[in-house]
A and B are shown apart, each in its own frame.
Chain A
Amino acid sequence: MTRVLVVWCPDWPMTAVGVDASAAGAVVERGQVAACTAAARAEGVRRGQRLRDAQRRCPELVVRERDRDAEGRLFEAVAGAVAELTPRVEVVRPGLCALSARGPARFYGGEEALRVLVQDTVVEAGYDCGAGVADGLFAAELAARAGQGGVVVPEGGAAAFLAPYPLSVLDRPELADLLRRLGVKTLGDFAALPSGHVAGRFGADGALAHRLARGEEPRPLAPVRAPADLSVRAAFDPPAEQAERVVFGAKRLAAELHEGLAAGGLACVRLEVAAGFADGRVLRRLWRHDGLSALAVAERVRWQLSAWQPQGAEAEQVWGGVTWLELVPDQLVPDEGRQEALWGRTTVTDRIARAADRVQALLGHRGITRPVLVGGRGPGEQVVRVPVGDLAPADPPGGPWPGGVGAPAPAVVPVSPPDAELLDASGGAVVVSARCEVSAPPAVLAVRGRAAAVTGWTGPWPADERWWDPGRARRRARFQVTTDDGAAYLLAVEGGRWHVEAVYD
Chain B
Amino acid sequence: MPEAALRELVRDTAPPGARDTVPVLPALGPAVPGGLRPGSVVGLPGPGAASLGLALVAGVSRHGGEDGTGGWCGVVGLPEFGVAAAAGMGAAPERLLLVDEPGERWPDVVAALCEAVDLVLLCPPERPGAAAVRRLSALARKHGCVLTLTGAFAGDWAGTRLRLRMDGVVWDGLADGHGRLTGRRAEVVAEGRDAPGPGRRARVWLPAPDGTVKPDETVRPPLELVPEPVAHGGPVHRRPSALPPRVRVPVEEGIA
Contact = CB atoms under 8 A, between A and B. Distances in A.
B109 A359 contact: yes
B54 to A, nearest CB: 5
A367 B47 CA distance: 29
Given A362-B108, A412-B82, A368 B99 contact: yes
A13 to B, nearest CB: 31
A356 B97 contact: yes
Nearest to B111: A358
Interface stretch (B29-37, B171-179, B188-196): B171-179
A413 B82 contact: yes
Contacts of A352: 72, 97, 116-117
Interface in B60-82: 67-69, 72, 74, 79-82
Interface stretch (A123-131, A304-312, A342-350): A342-350
A502 B82 contact: yes
A408 B208 contact: yes
A486 B112 contact: no
B140 interface: no
A457 B179 CA distance: 8
B144 interface: no
B50 A503 contact: yes
Contacts of B26: none
Given A413-B80, A480-B180, A363 B105 contact: yes
Interface in B145-191: 169, 171, 174-184
Nearest to B94: A346
Interface residues of A, number: 53
Interface in A405-420: 406-415
Contact of B101 (A363, A382, A441, A486): A363
A351 B51 CA distance: 28
A441 B176 contact: yes
A346 B82 CA distance: 22
B128 interface: no
B158 to A, nearest CB: 25
B215 interface: no
Contacts of A480: 174, 180-181
Contacts of A388: 97
A355 B115 contact: yes
Interface in A373-429: 373, 379, 382-383, 385, 388, 406-415
Given A458-B178, A504-B181, A409 B84 contact: yes
B109 A362 contact: yes
B138 interface: no
A389 to B, nearest CB: 12
Contact of A348 (B48, B68, B105): B68
A347 B93 contact: no
B116 A351 contact: yes
Contact of A351 (B74, B115, B179, B210): B115
A372 interface: yes
Contacts of B20: none
A334 interface: no
Nearest to B213: A408
A367 B101 contact: yes
B98 interface: yes
A349 B68 CA distance: 8
Interface string A417-458: 000000000000000000000100100000000000000111
B31 to A, nearest CB: 18
A359 B116 CA distance: 12
A400 to B, nearest CB: 16
Contact of A411 (B51, B69, B112, B176): B51
A355 B120 CA distance: 13
A385 to B, nearest CB: 6
B183 A355 contact: no
A486 B82 contact: no
Given A354-B116, A373-B93, A413-B80, A482 B171 contact: yes
A303 B254 CA distance: 103
Contact of A409 (B72, B94, B211): B211
A414 B53 CA distance: 16
A48 interface: no
B126 interface: no
Nearest to B114: A355
Contacts of B175: 456, 458
A37 to B, nearest CB: 39
Contacts of B85: 408-411
Contact of B171 (A369, A371, A385, A488): A488
A488 B179 CA distance: 14
Nearest to A483: B171
A237 interface: no
A363 B102 contact: yes
B181 A408 contact: yes
Nearest to B17: A351
A419 to B, nearest CB: 16
A278 to B, nearest CB: 28
B113 interface: yes
Instruction: Name the residue in A359, A370, A406, A441 with the highest tally of chain B Cβ atoms < 10 Å from its Cβ.
Output: A359
Contact of B174 (A345, A456, A487, A502): A456
A370 B209 contact: no
A504 B99 contact: no
Given A367-B99, A409-B211, A488 B184 contact: yes
Nearest to A349: B69
A344 B53 CA distance: 27
B105 A379 contact: no
Given A359-B113, A407-B211, A411-B54, A346 B174 contact: no
A363 B99 contact: yes
Contacts of B50: 411-412, 503, 505
A236 B39 CA distance: 38
Among A369, A485, A505, max chain B CB count under 10 A is at A505
A475 B119 CA distance: 40
Contacts of A367: 99, 101-102, 109
Contacts of A345: 94
10 contacts: A347-B67, A349-B116, A355-B115, A367-B101, A370-B93, A382-B84, A408-B208, A411-B54, A482-B171, A505-B51
A-B residue pairs, 8 tightest by C-beta = A456-B174, A355-B116, A408-B207, A505-B50, A409-B84, A409-B85, A486-B169, A411-B50
Interface of B: 47-51, 53-54, 67-69, 72, 74, 79-85, 87-88, 92-103, 105, 108-109, 112-113, 115-117, 169, 171, 174-184, 207-211
Given A408-B88, A409-B84, 10 more contacts: A355-B115, A358-B112, A363-B101, A409-B207, A411-B50, A414-B80, A441-B177, A480-B180, A482-B171, A488-B171
